[in-house]
Structure 1
């Protein structure tokens, strides 16, 4: 009995120290995790409220702050138990090198994400299209992935390396966009009246910018008519409203003014007499075939 008491008295200080170390380490771990979340939330709120900080970098900046604090917390906990942190860091560095070689694609995504945030060819809220075929509004550029929301509401997630290696068409970076609408006019219609009518339509649109001034010009000659190009500028946010509105308004206004869209015509010659037979009904391919057959006979 005396030996057990003597052995317990010998182990009691060690057990007490171990218990205190466990308690302190647990408190450090809890405090570190709480502080990391607190700092991360503060960084996110500060970045969101500031108009000078691009919200594209907020998710990556948040993750960096949070995990930097947590890594230092874990190192402090290990140091509490007497672990040599210098040798641990060296081991982690070697392990990181081995993992990096095994995960080259993942590290490539991280490097691509850093380049996307540094050069910022895309930003949150911008509508972009990639040469890979993906398009949508940028939701977030993270450490590994870029998230897009397509026009039909589908959420699209892409590796950062895919975005970085693609040709990016950014439709939202400039404040204004140009709209070109080809309007066909029949031969024989009064071209000057058509130009005047189109100019009146464009000038009457409030969402069409006055500077640069709209242009209505003859652009090209086709087999069935003259192509008039209507060129206007609009704010990027109003581009589609202007496009849809002009396409509908131009067609209805020209028809109301008596201008009909050009219809393709085809003249069939009699190879023997050189005279043209009676014109077939427009738009009927079978009629044209019958006339050519009759002419051949």
Structure 2
């Protein structure tokens, strides 16, 4: 009995010494881990602010893109800090990095469409084929840009509807930007029947164009005969206007052209009526 009691006491003392050694060892690891976490957290926040401010100083660099890259830098630093913290407790960091790589690959495959939209959003924000407030048109969508995000782009259609387009659908197709350049050209076509003067029609078209202050004088409006046949000829008026009021100008010019033709037809009819029959 005495021998058993002695063995128990000896084992207890050995376990206590081992526990004390482990406590001392892991206390330093815990303190080191806490220090790493604090320093890493502060460093990640500092690098995020530094990256955002630096990217924001670049002329034309989008704020959304700057925030995305700054946030990505912060999370990369935090992941590295967590790996270093686990290394303080004897965890094999190589296996952690391999697991993170495998998890990243699995997440990338699962979110392939989402990552496609993010990549397309980054390219749209960098290359800027359109900006907020511009009117664009593709084979699938058209409207005025409200906001360009990393995943999707918000638009407002001409009839006031809200439309959300995934960025991948805007990046992989040709885009027509109606607002990028300050001026736009427009053409009006008029059919001149046989017997009517082409020169008078051209003069009338030029007078209509010059009578609208929104029609630019440089380049100057011009008329030309586009097609001709034995029975008629097609005369076109080509003019330029500001992109901001191009649509309203084209509508008003079309209306003015119709009114001018009606007035000329009424004048011709009145002259025929007043002419005495021989």
What TM-score, normalized by structure 2, do the two folds share? 0.68
85 and 213 in structure 1: CA distance in 2 versus 1, 3 angstrom threshold: farther
1:170 paired with 2:181, answer no
Number of corresponding residues: 250
What TM-score, normalized by structure 1, do the two folds share? 0.65
Q: Give the CA deviation at 1:179.
A: 0.2
Counterparts of 1:55-74 in structure 2, within 5 Å, are 55=62, 58-74=63-79
CA distance in 1, matches of 2:101, 2:256: 66
* 1:287 match: none
Deviations 1:117-147 (A, max 9, x none): 56x3722133221112x01233444433233
SS of residue matched to 1:234? strand
SS of residue matched to 2:131? coil
Question: In 1, are the aligned partners of 2:130 and 2:177 still within 8 Å (CA)?
Answer: no
1:96 paired with 2:97, answer no
Question: In 2, are the aligned partners of 1:182 and 1:228 still within 8 Å (CA)?
Answer: yes
217 and 87 in structure 1: CA distance in 2 versus 1, 3 angstrom threshold: same
Question: In 2, are the aligned partners of 1:40 and 1:63 still within 8 Å (CA)?
Answer: no
Counterparts of 1:213-292 in structure 2, within 5 Å, are 213-220=220-227, 226-255=233-262, 257-259=263-265
Question: In 1, are the aligned partners of 2:227 and 2:233 still within 8 Å (CA)?
Answer: yes
Q: Give the CA deviation at 1:71.
A: 2.3
238 and 36 in structure 1: CA distance in 2 versus 1, 3 angstrom threshold: farther
Deviations 1:35-77 (A, max 9, x none): 3663465357535xx3xx154xx42332122121222123214
CA distance in 2, matches of 1:27, 1:54: 32
Deviations 1:166-192 (A, max 9, x none): 232222344432101123456555443
CA distance in 1, matches of 2:105, 2:82: 24
CA distance in 2, matches of 1:124, 1:111: 17
37 and 121 in structure 1: CA distance in 2 versus 1, 3 angstrom threshold: closer
CA distance in 1, matches of 2:92, 2:162: 46
1:106 paired with 2:114, answer yes
Question: In 2, are the aligned partners of 1:195 and 1:216 still within 8 Å (CA)?
Answer: yes
SS of residue matched to 1:258? helix
* 1:280 match: none
1:31 paired with 2:42, answer yes
Question: In 1, are the aligned partners of 2:83 and 2:96 still within 8 Å (CA)?
Answer: no
Question: In 2, are the aligned partners of 1:145 and 1:159 still within 8 Å (CA)?
Answer: yes
CA distance in 2, matches of 1:39, 1:219: 61
CA distance in 2, matches of 1:65, 1:74: 15
Question: In 1, are the aligned partners of 2:137 and 2:143 still within 8 Å (CA)?
Answer: yes
Return the structure number with greater helix share.
2
**Gap regions ≥5 residues in structure 1:** 261-297
CA distance in 1, matches of 2:265, 2:215: 24
Q: Give the CA deviation at 1:22.
A: 6.8
**Gap regions ≥5 residues in structure 2:** 1-12, 267-278
CA distance in 1, matches of 2:245, 2:27: 72
